[in-house]
């Protein structure tokens, strides 16, 4: 059997990590039930004085703008031009995430199909590629978790400074942009945790699937290897 290619293994690991992370980020964007489930646990009705219907309506209006290209609105809550501009910036990032998810998913599928039908190509892969992606992701989220526990506000500021360079419209004034009242820091912390758990779970699942198919496609004895070689002639 050929020695697995380190470069190909690293490439597959990076593609797997990117796919898992972008898929995990897309989940709370597309699954509104995640936010709905937080309304009661974060006591948003009691904390803000808004009814659950008003909170859901405001969130849905913003997400319709971000995902469905609807006109910008925050339902019955007040909003400013500065706040609307920030959500327009968020829309660009959301679409970038969807694009990277689609491209990395297509690359993973292409690699899987080639490996399925080409024994030589398959032998160049190391079974550790998804495990390497899993380790990289765990290290990344462990570092962010420690940072968040030590200084969540600092992490939050650094994230926005990196994603929105040169802009300060992500700093909301609740008196002019009431939407910020229903999107507290605790919600973002929980969402970040959800993204981490989903990304790790996806990579673990991909590692199990790869291990299963490698065992399924790899001959278990010299006799089976000879039969495979004869069938290819």
> pLDDT tens for residues 94-124?
999 999 999 999 998 888 887 777 666 666 6
Predicted model pTM: 0.84
> pLDDT tens for residues 154-191?
988 999 999 999 999 999 999 999 999 999 999 999 99
Contacts made by residues 80-83, CB under 8 angstroms, sequence distance 24+: 80/173, 80/176, 80/177, 82/169, 82/176, 82/177, 83/169, 83/172, 83/176, 83/177, 83/179
pLDDT for 5 equals: 65
pLDDT for 19 equals: 94
pLDDT for 220 equals: 57
> pLDDT tens for residues 126-154?
556 777 788 888 898 889 889 988 998 89
């Amino acid at each position: 059997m050929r020695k697995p290619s380190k470069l190909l293994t690293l490439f597959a690991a990076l593609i797997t990590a990117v796919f898992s992370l972008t898929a995990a980020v897309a989940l709370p964007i597309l699954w509104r039930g995640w936010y709905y489930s937080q309304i009661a646990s974060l006591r948003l009705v009691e904390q803000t004085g808004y009814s659950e219907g008003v909170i859901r309506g405001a969130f849905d209006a913003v997400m319709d703008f971000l995902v469905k290209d609807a006109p910008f609105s925050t339902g019955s809550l007040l909003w400013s031009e500065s706040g609307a501009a920030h959500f327009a910036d968020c829309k660009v990032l959301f679409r970038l995430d969807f694009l990277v998810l689609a491209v990395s998913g297509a690359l993973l599928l292409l690699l899987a199909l080639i490996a399925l039908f080409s024994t030589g190509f398959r032998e160049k892969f190391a079974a550790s590629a998804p495990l390497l992606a899993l380790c990289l992701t765990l290290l990344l989220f462990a570092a962010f978790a420690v940072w968040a526990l030590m200084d969540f506000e600092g992490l939050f500021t650094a994230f926005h400074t990196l994603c929105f360079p040169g802009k300060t419209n992500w700093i909301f004034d609740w008196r002019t942009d009431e939407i910020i009242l229903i999107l507290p820091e605790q919600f973002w912390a929980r969402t970040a945790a959800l993204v981490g758990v989903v990304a790790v779970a996806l990579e673990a699942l991909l590692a199990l699937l790869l291990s299963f198919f490698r065992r399924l496609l790899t001959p278990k004895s010299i006799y089976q290897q000879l039969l495979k070689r004869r069938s290819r002639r």
